[in-house]
Amino acid sequence: MKKNTKKLLAIVFMAIFIISTVSAAFLGGGRVATQANKSTGLTITGTPADNYPDNKRPTFCETGPAQSSKYITEFKVPTACTQPLAIITDPAGNAWFTESNTGNLGKFDLSSKTFQEFTNTQWQKGEKSMMWGLGTAQDGNIWFTDSQHNLVWKFNPADKSYTRFTFPKSSGTDGSFPQMLLIDGKNAYVNDFTGKKIGVFTTDHIGPDLGITNIPSPGNYNFTSTMTTDSNGNVWYTIWIYQQGGNLVKYDQKTGNYTQYPLPQEIQAPNGITIDSTGKLWIMDTASSFFFDFDPLSNQFTKHVTSPPPTSSYGNASGLIKTPISRPYWNHFDDKGRLWFNEQVANSLGVYDPSTQSLVEYLVPSKNPNWSDCGNFTGQDCGVAQVLDFAVDHNKVWFTEWVENNIGVLDSSIALPIEVNSSDTSITIHRGQNATVSLNINPEEQLTSPVSIITSNTAGVQNISITPQETQFTVDKSKTVNVTISADNFAVTGTYKILVGARYHDITVSKYIDVTLE
309-356 confidence digits (pLDDT tens): 999 999 999 999 999 999 999 999 999 999 999 999 999 999 999 999
Determine contact, residues 247/219, Cβ cutoff 8 Å. Answer: yes
pLDDT at position 449 over 70 = yes
Residue 21: what pLDDT? 31
Q: How far apart are CA 500 and CA 502, in angstroms?
A: 7
pLDDT at position 79 over 70 = yes
Q: How far apart are CA 426 and CA 96, in angstroms?
A: 43
362 compared with 377, residue with greater pLDDT: 362
Identify the band that residue 41 occupies on the pLDDT scale cut at 50, 70 and 90. confident
Among 35-44, 150-159, 250-259, 408-417, the minimum mean pLDDT is found in 35-44
pTM here is 0.93
Among 63-77, 342-356, 376-390, the minimum mean pLDDT is found in 376-390
8 compared with 31, residue with greater pLDDT: 8
Nearest to 497 by CA among 512, 478, 479, 476: 512
11 compared with 485, residue with greater pLDDT: 485
pLDDT at position 13 over 70 = no
pLDDT at position 17 over 50 = no
Residue 376: what pLDDT? 73
Burial of 309-339, coded b for 16+ CB within 10 Å and e otherwise, reads bbebbbbbbeeeeeebbbbbbbbbbbeeebb
pLDDT at position 278 over 90 = yes
Residue 71: what pLDDT? 98
**In angstroms, what CA-CA distances link 268 with 326, 341, 421?**
14, 17, 32
40 compared with 494, residue with greater pLDDT: 494
Residue 4: what pLDDT? 43
With a pLDDT cut of 90, the percent of the chain lying above it is 88
Among 15-24, 102-111, 368-377, the minimum mean pLDDT is found in 15-24
Q: How far apart are CA 34 and CA 504, in angstroms?
A: 45
Instruction: Note the pLDDT tens digit of each residue in 401-442.
Output: 999 999 999 999 999 999 999 999 999 999 999 999 999 999
Nearest to 275 by CA among 239, 307, 231: 231
Residue 491: CB partners within 8 Å, gap ≥ 6?
431, 459, 462, 463, 464, 517
Residue 205: what pLDDT? 79
> Mean pLDDT of all residues in the chain?
91
Burial of 40-77, coded b for 16+ CB within 10 Å and e otherwise, reads eebeeeeebbbbbbeebbebbbbbeebbebebbbbbbb
Identify the band that residue 226 occupies on the pLDDT scale cut at 50, 70 and 90. very high
Determine contact, residues 155/149, Cβ cutoff 8 Å. Answer: no
Residue 380: what pLDDT? 65
Residue 77: what pLDDT? 98
- Segment 105-125 mean pLDDT: 96
Q: What are the residue ranges of CATH 2.60.40.10 in the chain?
A: 418-517
Strands (E), 46-186: 72-76, 84-89, 95-99, 104-109, 114-118, 134-136, 142-146, 151-156, 161-166, 178-184
H or E element at residue 494: strand 494-504
pLDDT at position 174 over 80 = no
Among 143-157, 230-244, 376-390, 416-430, the minimum mean pLDDT is found in 376-390
Q: Between 2.60.40.10, 1.10.1040.10, 1.10.8.60, 2.170.140.10, what CATH number should domain 418-517 receive? A: 2.60.40.10
- Segment 19-31 mean pLDDT: 31
Q: How far apart are CA 332 and CA 328, in angstroms?
A: 12
Determine contact, residues 343/389, Cβ cutoff 8 Å. Answer: no
Residue 14: what pLDDT? 44
Q: What does the DSSP 8-state code read for residue 173?
A: S
pLDDT at position 244 over 70 = yes
Task: Indicate the pairing of strand 472-473 with strand 464-468.
Answer: unpaired
- Segment 51-57 mean pLDDT: 96
Q: How far apart are CA 386 and CA 402, in angstroms?
A: 5
In degrees and rounded to multiples of 5, residue 3 shows phi and psi of -60, -40
Instruction: Work out the widest C-alpha separation in the chain, in whole angstroms.
Output: 69
Looking at 298-434, list the stretches that DSSP marks H as alpha helix, in order from N- to C-terminal side: 311-314
Among 139-148, 164-173, 329-338, the minimum mean pLDDT is found in 164-173
Q: What does the DSSP 8-state code read for residue 68?
A: B
Determine contact, residues 166/154, Cβ cutoff 8 Å. Answer: no
Residue 8: what pLDDT? 40
Residue 39: what pLDDT? 52
Residue 267: CB partners within 8 Å, gap ≥ 6?
240, 245, 246, 283, 285, 290, 292
H or E element at residue 10: helix 3-17
Looking at 256-323, list the stretches that DSSP marks H as alpha helix, in order from N- to C-terminal side: 311-314
CA-atom Rg of the chain in angstroms: 23
| Amino acid at the residue 502 | A
H or E element at residue 14: helix 3-17
Nearest to 211 by CA among 180, 235, 181, 188: 188
Identify the band that residue 379 occupies on the pLDDT scale cut at 50, 70 and 90. low
Residue 6: what pLDDT? 41
